Protein backbone atom coordinates (compact mmCIF):
# COMPACT_ATOMS: atom_id res chain seq x y z
CA UNK A 1 0.00 0.00 0.00
CA UNK A 2 1.31 3.46 -0.89
CA UNK A 3 2.42 5.65 2.00
CA UNK A 4 0.23 8.73 2.44
CA UNK A 5 1.95 12.00 1.62
CA UNK A 6 1.39 14.98 3.88
CA UNK A 7 1.85 18.67 3.11
CA UNK A 8 4.77 20.53 4.67
CA UNK A 9 4.57 24.32 4.76
CA UNK A 10 6.79 27.14 5.97
CA UNK A 11 5.54 30.64 6.82
CA UNK A 12 8.46 32.80 5.66
CA UNK A 13 8.69 35.69 8.09
CA UNK A 14 11.38 36.83 10.53
CA UNK A 15 11.31 36.95 14.33
CA UNK A 16 10.57 40.70 14.49
CA UNK A 17 7.47 40.30 12.30
CA UNK A 18 5.64 37.96 14.66
CA UNK A 19 2.19 39.36 15.45
CA UNK A 20 2.68 38.98 19.21
CA UNK A 21 5.67 41.31 18.99
CA UNK A 22 3.73 44.09 17.26
CA UNK A 23 3.19 46.12 20.49
CA UNK A 24 6.95 46.00 21.14
CA UNK A 25 8.57 46.39 17.70
CA UNK A 26 7.52 49.23 15.44
CA UNK A 27 6.96 48.33 11.80
CA UNK A 28 9.10 51.28 10.70
CA UNK A 29 12.04 49.75 12.63
CA UNK A 30 12.00 46.43 10.74
CA UNK A 31 14.66 47.53 8.25
CA UNK A 32 17.03 48.46 11.07
CA UNK A 33 16.87 45.09 12.82
CA UNK A 34 19.20 42.18 12.04
CA UNK A 35 17.37 39.90 9.61
CA UNK A 36 18.07 36.19 10.04
CA UNK A 37 15.59 34.74 7.57
CA UNK A 38 18.17 33.96 4.88
CA UNK A 39 20.34 31.72 7.08
CA UNK A 40 17.26 30.03 8.53
CA UNK A 41 15.76 29.30 5.12
CA UNK A 42 19.08 27.82 4.01
CA UNK A 43 18.99 25.51 7.06
CA UNK A 44 15.42 24.46 6.26
CA UNK A 45 16.25 23.79 2.62
CA UNK A 46 19.14 21.64 3.79
CA UNK A 47 16.89 19.58 6.08
CA UNK A 48 14.37 19.09 3.29
CA UNK A 49 17.11 17.95 0.93
CA UNK A 50 18.39 15.45 3.54
CA UNK A 51 14.92 13.92 3.81
CA UNK A 52 14.23 14.10 0.07
CA UNK A 53 11.12 16.14 0.90
CA UNK A 54 9.44 19.11 -0.74
CA UNK A 55 7.45 21.90 0.88
CA UNK A 56 5.39 25.01 0.23
CA UNK A 57 6.85 28.33 1.37
CA UNK A 58 4.19 30.95 2.20
CA UNK A 59 6.43 33.98 1.77
CA UNK A 60 5.99 37.61 2.75
CA UNK A 61 6.32 40.11 -0.09
CA UNK A 62 8.33 42.30 2.32
CA UNK A 63 10.90 39.53 2.71
CA UNK A 64 10.94 38.72 -1.01
CA UNK A 65 11.70 42.34 -1.96
CA UNK A 66 14.70 42.50 0.33
CA UNK A 67 15.96 38.94 -0.08
CA UNK A 68 15.12 37.89 -3.65
CA UNK A 69 17.76 35.17 -3.46
CA UNK A 70 15.61 33.41 -0.85
CA UNK A 71 12.74 33.22 -3.33
CA UNK A 72 15.03 31.92 -6.05
CA UNK A 73 16.51 29.21 -3.82
CA UNK A 74 13.03 28.03 -2.89
CA UNK A 75 11.96 27.74 -6.52
CA UNK A 76 15.26 26.25 -7.69
CA UNK A 77 14.92 23.58 -5.00
CA UNK A 78 11.65 22.40 -6.52
CA UNK A 79 9.49 23.74 -3.73
CA UNK A 80 6.20 25.60 -4.12
CA UNK A 81 6.23 29.39 -3.78
CA UNK A 82 3.07 30.79 -2.17
CA UNK A 83 1.97 34.05 -0.55
CA UNK A 84 1.83 35.12 3.09
CA UNK A 85 0.68 38.59 2.06
CA UNK A 86 2.99 41.59 1.87
CA UNK A 87 3.47 43.13 5.29
CA UNK A 88 2.32 40.50 7.82
CA UNK A 89 -0.76 42.42 8.89
CA UNK A 90 -3.66 40.43 10.27
CA UNK A 91 -6.62 40.40 7.93
CA UNK A 92 -8.75 41.43 10.92
CA UNK A 93 -6.78 44.70 11.08
CA UNK A 94 -7.33 45.60 7.40
CA UNK A 95 -10.16 47.04 5.36
CA UNK A 96 -11.19 45.18 2.19
CA UNK A 97 -9.33 47.78 0.14
CA UNK A 98 -6.09 47.47 2.13
CA UNK A 99 -6.32 43.67 2.09
CA UNK A 100 -6.84 43.70 -1.68
CA UNK A 101 -3.71 45.80 -2.11
CA UNK A 102 -1.70 43.58 0.28
CA UNK A 103 -2.49 40.24 -1.40
CA UNK A 104 -2.19 41.59 -4.95
CA UNK A 105 1.11 43.33 -4.23
CA UNK A 106 2.58 40.20 -2.66
CA UNK A 107 1.44 37.95 -5.52
CA UNK A 108 2.97 40.26 -8.12
CA UNK A 109 6.32 40.53 -6.30
CA UNK A 110 6.60 36.78 -5.74
CA UNK A 111 5.67 35.87 -9.31
CA UNK A 112 8.10 38.41 -10.76
CA UNK A 113 10.98 37.18 -8.61
CA UNK A 114 10.20 33.47 -8.70
CA UNK A 115 9.11 33.21 -12.32
CA UNK A 116 6.27 30.86 -11.31
CA UNK A 117 2.54 31.21 -10.74
CA UNK A 118 1.60 31.81 -7.10
CA UNK A 119 -1.63 29.92 -6.38
CA UNK A 120 -1.68 29.62 -2.59
CA UNK A 121 -2.14 32.09 0.28
CA UNK A 122 -1.97 31.89 4.07
CA UNK A 123 -3.20 34.75 6.22
CA UNK A 124 -0.88 36.00 8.97
CA UNK A 125 -1.96 34.44 12.27
CA UNK A 126 -4.76 32.52 10.50
CA UNK A 127 -6.75 35.75 10.72
CA UNK A 128 -9.69 35.03 8.42
CA UNK A 129 -12.92 34.42 10.35
CA UNK A 130 -16.66 35.14 10.30
CA UNK A 131 -16.06 38.85 10.89
CA UNK A 132 -14.02 39.33 7.72
CA UNK A 133 -15.53 36.71 5.43
CA UNK A 134 -15.23 39.20 2.57
CA UNK A 135 -11.55 38.20 2.46
CA UNK A 136 -12.45 34.85 0.87
CA UNK A 137 -13.96 36.58 -2.15
CA UNK A 138 -11.04 39.02 -2.34
CA UNK A 139 -8.63 36.09 -2.58
CA UNK A 140 -10.69 34.57 -5.39
CA UNK A 141 -10.74 37.87 -7.25
CA UNK A 142 -6.97 38.27 -6.86
CA UNK A 143 -6.40 34.97 -8.64
CA UNK A 144 -5.51 32.67 -5.76
CA UNK A 145 -6.58 29.03 -6.17
CA UNK A 146 -6.34 27.94 -2.53
CA UNK A 147 -5.95 29.35 0.95
CA UNK A 148 -4.77 27.89 4.24
CA UNK A 149 -6.02 30.62 6.52
CA UNK A 150 -8.83 29.24 8.69
CA UNK A 151 -7.66 27.18 11.65
CA UNK A 152 -10.55 25.15 13.18
CA UNK A 153 -9.37 25.57 16.78
CA UNK A 154 -10.13 27.81 19.72
CA UNK A 155 -7.20 30.15 20.41
CA UNK A 156 -6.79 33.51 22.12
CA UNK A 157 -5.65 35.21 18.90
CA UNK A 158 -7.31 33.26 16.07
CA UNK A 159 -9.41 30.30 15.10
CA UNK A 160 -12.87 29.17 14.01
CA UNK A 161 -13.50 26.00 16.05
CA UNK A 162 -16.67 25.19 14.08
CA UNK A 163 -15.00 25.46 10.66
CA UNK A 164 -14.45 22.26 8.64
CA UNK A 165 -11.36 20.24 9.57
CA UNK A 166 -10.66 19.11 6.02
CA UNK A 167 -10.43 20.73 2.56
CA UNK A 168 -13.57 22.67 1.67
CA UNK A 169 -14.92 25.45 -0.53
CA UNK A 170 -16.01 28.28 1.83
CA UNK A 171 -18.04 30.07 -0.86
CA UNK A 172 -19.24 26.96 -2.64
CA UNK A 173 -17.88 24.74 -5.39
CA UNK A 174 -15.95 26.59 -8.04
CA UNK A 175 -14.56 29.14 -5.58
CA UNK A 176 -11.31 29.17 -3.66
CA UNK A 177 -10.30 25.97 -1.86
CA UNK A 178 -9.59 26.23 1.88
CA UNK A 179 -6.95 23.83 3.26
CA UNK A 180 -7.06 24.01 7.07
CA UNK A 181 -4.03 23.24 9.22
CA UNK A 182 -4.42 19.79 10.73
CA UNK A 183 -6.40 19.18 13.88
CA UNK A 184 -7.23 15.99 15.77
CA UNK A 185 -10.78 15.58 17.01
CA UNK A 186 -10.73 14.23 20.55
CA UNK A 187 -13.63 14.22 23.02
CA UNK A 188 -15.58 16.72 20.93
CA UNK A 189 -12.76 19.24 20.63
CA UNK A 190 -10.30 19.99 17.84
CA UNK A 191 -6.72 19.79 19.09
CA UNK A 192 -4.01 21.61 17.10
CA UNK A 193 -1.73 19.07 15.44
CA UNK A 194 -0.29 21.17 12.65
CA UNK A 195 2.88 22.64 14.15
CA UNK A 196 3.73 26.05 15.55
CA UNK A 197 4.13 26.50 19.29
CA UNK A 198 2.27 23.30 20.15
CA UNK A 199 4.84 21.26 18.23
CA UNK A 200 7.64 22.83 20.28
CA UNK A 201 5.76 22.47 23.58
CA UNK A 202 4.38 18.92 23.36
CA UNK A 203 6.59 15.82 23.47
CA UNK A 204 7.53 14.85 19.93
CA UNK A 205 5.88 11.45 20.40
CA UNK A 206 2.54 13.17 21.01
CA UNK A 207 2.77 15.27 17.84
CA UNK A 208 3.75 12.21 15.82
CA UNK A 209 0.83 10.23 17.26
CA UNK A 210 -1.68 12.96 16.37
CA UNK A 211 -0.51 13.17 12.78
CA UNK A 212 -0.50 9.37 12.43
CA UNK A 213 -4.00 9.27 13.89
CA UNK A 214 -5.32 11.68 11.25
CA UNK A 215 -3.62 9.70 8.48
CA UNK A 216 -4.95 6.37 9.72
CA UNK A 217 -8.34 7.10 11.30
CA UNK A 218 -9.47 9.93 9.04
CA UNK A 219 -7.60 8.63 5.99
CA UNK A 220 -6.59 12.21 5.28
CA UNK A 221 -3.27 13.92 4.56
CA UNK A 222 -2.02 16.41 7.15
CA UNK A 223 -1.14 20.07 6.69
CA UNK A 224 1.86 20.99 8.87
CA UNK A 225 3.47 24.43 9.27
CA UNK A 226 6.37 26.12 11.02
CA UNK A 227 8.40 29.34 10.80
CA UNK A 228 12.08 29.99 10.00
CA UNK A 229 12.56 31.81 13.31
CA UNK A 230 11.51 28.64 15.16
CA UNK A 231 14.74 27.05 13.89
CA UNK A 232 16.83 29.84 15.40
CA UNK A 233 17.59 29.65 19.11
CA UNK A 234 20.22 32.37 18.65
CA UNK A 235 17.81 35.07 17.51
CA UNK A 236 17.90 38.42 19.37
CA UNK A 237 15.79 38.36 22.53
CA UNK A 238 13.11 41.00 22.86
CA UNK A 239 12.66 43.06 26.02
CA UNK A 240 9.38 44.00 27.64
CA UNK A 241 7.40 40.90 26.66
CA UNK A 242 4.76 39.43 28.92
CA UNK A 243 5.58 36.08 30.51
CA UNK A 244 3.02 34.35 28.26
CA UNK A 245 4.37 35.89 25.06
CA UNK A 246 7.96 35.14 26.05
CA UNK A 247 7.11 31.52 26.81
CA UNK A 248 5.10 30.97 23.63
CA UNK A 249 7.79 32.40 21.39
CA UNK A 250 10.96 30.96 22.91
CA UNK A 251 9.91 27.58 24.35
CA UNK A 252 12.11 24.75 23.06
CA UNK A 253 13.60 26.68 20.13
CA UNK A 254 16.84 24.78 20.69
CA UNK A 255 15.06 21.46 20.16
CA UNK A 256 13.29 22.46 16.96
CA UNK A 257 15.94 21.45 14.37
CA UNK A 258 16.16 17.96 15.83
CA UNK A 259 12.40 17.56 16.02
CA UNK A 260 11.99 18.72 12.43
CA UNK A 261 14.62 16.23 11.28
CA UNK A 262 12.66 13.43 13.00
CA UNK A 263 9.36 14.64 11.57
CA UNK A 264 10.70 14.83 8.03
CA UNK A 265 11.94 11.25 8.29
CA UNK A 266 8.92 9.76 10.10
CA UNK A 267 6.40 10.84 7.43
CA UNK A 268 6.31 11.42 3.69
CA UNK A 269 6.15 15.14 2.82
CA UNK A 270 5.41 17.11 -0.33
CA UNK A 271 4.26 20.51 -1.55
CA UNK A 272 0.75 21.66 -0.68
CA UNK A 273 -0.31 21.87 -4.33
CA UNK A 274 0.80 18.32 -5.10
CA UNK A 275 -0.85 16.86 -2.00
CA UNK A 276 -4.22 18.59 -2.22
CA UNK A 277 -4.91 20.09 -5.63
CA UNK A 278 -4.79 17.06 -7.96
CA UNK A 279 -7.72 15.31 -6.27
CA UNK A 280 -10.02 18.28 -5.71
Sign of the torsion angle spanned by Cα atoms 159, 165, 166, 167: negative
Q: Which pLDDT does position 226 carry in this prediction?
A: 98
Q: 190-225: per-residue pLDDT in tens?
A: 999 999 899 999 999 999 999 999 999 999 999 999
CATH architecture of 5-276: Alpha-Beta Barrel (3.20)
Q: What is the pLDDT of residues 229-258, one digit of tens each?
A: 999 999 999 999 999 999 999 999 999 999
Domain ranges in the chain are: 5-276
For 222: left if phi > 0, alpha if psi spans -120 to 50, otherwise beta; the answer is: beta
Mean pLDDT of 78-94: 97
Name the least confident of 27-31, 137-141, 173-177, 234-238.
Answer: 173-177
The pLDDT tens digits of the residues spanning 61-71 come to: 999 999 999 99
Q: What CA–CA distance (Å, rounded) separates 57 from 54?
A: 10
Amino acid sequence: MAVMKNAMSVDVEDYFQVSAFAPHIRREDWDRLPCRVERNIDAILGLLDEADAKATFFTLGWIAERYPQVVRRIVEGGHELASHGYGHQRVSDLTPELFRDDISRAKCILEDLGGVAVRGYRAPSFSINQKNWWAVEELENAGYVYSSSIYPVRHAHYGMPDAPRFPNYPNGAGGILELPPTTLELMGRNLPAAGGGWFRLLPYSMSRWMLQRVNERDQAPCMFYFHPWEMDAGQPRQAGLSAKTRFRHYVNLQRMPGRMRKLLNDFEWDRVDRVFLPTL
